[in-house]
């Protein structure tokens, strides 16, 4: 039984504070701030809130993968290769920037706020020059598993939970991504690959992390919970008397044994390569050729 699994202990928790990003967008950044920098393979986690008229107009990427998970509303994307798409609630886009992408990410028309998560994952050095590619995952493609008599629901976006496997490998860098909803009184013991770096980010409600009889901590909304690398499973529950359910994403990834040298959306392993990325972007070369004269429709 999973209760025999050693718990992954909490290394640190902190509140993600709202800040400006892009054009009038607001993000709660919980990875990629001074509080949590080298947490390989994770480079950035933004919980974004984009009102109509705001967004992320034309900008480049090189050397990383971005995983965008739409929670509320809708976001359009359009890149310099003519790829376009729309993410609705529960949809995901896995974008491998590789050698270079220039795109815009803007709210789909509508009047409400558009909410989601964007996670940046580092690419292994040998893949940083790869051709860009997209993997879309529609909400209805994400398997859901119920645990603890239905008090817990896990959307298995990537990885495996209670015997349910995600549908396909979506990123080059192995990453598990679970969206967990827990009703009051619900408990879950979620094994994670040993030795992988892992964190949880609380979207709604209060979650108690930790095994009964061991170290436990109640974490409120908009907090990042960073787990240590010992242990085999994350223990989480919502108190019986809690007024409302809680929701958090649980993420784990293989640490990459390589340097991270980052300048905004250019993520490489040496200063020279970052300068090169900047020059390539300015001169439309080495993967940025199609940026020459390109402007998005949606980012205007
Ligand atoms: N300034 C700057 C520089 C480079 C970027 F890539 C971006 C950017 O596009 C985003 C940063 N957080 C995000 N959360 C969600 C979405 Cl959909 C996009 C972003 C940006 F804003
Ligand atoms: Fe982007």
Nearest to 253 by CA among 50, 16, 39: 39
- Please tell me the distance from the alpha carbon of residue 167 to that of residue 160, in angstroms, as a whole number: 10
- Please tell me the distance from the alpha carbon of residue 190 to that of residue 194, in angstroms, as a whole number: 12
- What is the pLDDT at residue 83? 96
pTM: 0.97
Distances from the Cα of 141 to the Cα of 115, 134, 157, 218, angstroms: 20, 16, 9, 32
- What is the pLDDT at residue 82? 94
Ligand 1 contact via 27 beta carbon (within 6 Å): yes
Spell out the residues 6+ positions from residue 1 whose beta carbon is closer than 8 angstroms to its own: none
Contact 46/29 with Cβ under 8 angstroms? yes
Distances from the Cα of 107 to the Cα of 14, 132, 203, 299, angstroms: 28, 23, 20, 10
- Please tell me the distance from the alpha carbon of residue 57 to that of residue 64, in angstroms, as a whole number: 19
Mean pLDDT by 10 residues, the chain (300 residues): 84 96 97 90 98 97 98 97 96 97 95 97 97 96 97 97 88 92 98 97 98 94 95 97 98 97 97 98 98 96
Ligand 1 contact via 120 beta carbon (within 6 Å): no
- What is the pLDDT at residue 229? 83
Contact 21/46 with Cβ under 8 angstroms? yes
- For 126, the 3-state DSSP assignment is helix
- What is the pLDDT at residue 3? 62
- Which of 18, 20, 22 to probe ligand 1 with, by most ligand atoms within 8 A of CB? 22
- What is the pLDDT at residue 2? 58
Distance 103 CA to ligand 2 centre (A): 6
- What is the pLDDT at residue 172? 83
Ligand 1 contact via 265 beta carbon (within 6 Å): yes
């Amino acid at each position: 039984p999973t209760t025999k699994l050693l718990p992954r202990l909490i290394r640190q928790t902190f509140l993600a504070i709202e800040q400006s990003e892009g054009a009038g967008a607001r993000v709660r950044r919980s990875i990629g701030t001074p509080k949590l920098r080298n947490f390989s393979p994770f480079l950035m986690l933004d919980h974004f809130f984009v009102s109509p008229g705001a967004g992320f107009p034309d900008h480049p990427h090189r050397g990383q993968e971005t995983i965008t998970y739409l929670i509320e509303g809708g976001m359009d994307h359009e890149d310099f290769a003519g790829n376009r798409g729309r993410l609705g609630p529960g949809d995901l886009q896995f974008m491998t920037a590789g050698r270079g992408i220039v795109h815009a990410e803007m709210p789909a028309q509508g009047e409400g706020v558009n909410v989601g998560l964007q996670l940046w994952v580092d690419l292994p050095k040998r893949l940083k020059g790869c051709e860009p590619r997209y993997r879309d995952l529609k909400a209805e493609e994400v398997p859901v598993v119920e645990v603890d008599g239905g008090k817990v629901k896990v959307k298995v976006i990537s990885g495996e939970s209670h015997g349910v496997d995600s549908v396909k490998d979506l990123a080059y860098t192995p990453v598990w991504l679970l969206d967990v909803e827990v009703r009051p009184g619900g408990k879950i013991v979620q094994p994670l690959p040993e030795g992988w770096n892992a964190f949880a980010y609380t979207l709604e409600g209060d979650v108690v992390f930790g095994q009964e009889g061991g170290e436990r901590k109640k974490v409120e909304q908009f907090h990042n919970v960073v787990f240590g690398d010992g242990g085999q499973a994350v223990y989480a529950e919502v108190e019986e008397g809690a007024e409302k359910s809680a929701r958090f994403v649980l993420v784990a990834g293989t640490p990459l044994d390589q340097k991270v040298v980052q300048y905004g959306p250019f993520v490489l392993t040496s200063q020279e390569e970052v300068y090169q990325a900047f020059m390539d972007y300015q001169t439309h070369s080495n993967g940025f050729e199609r940026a020459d004269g390109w402007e998005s429709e949606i980012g205007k």
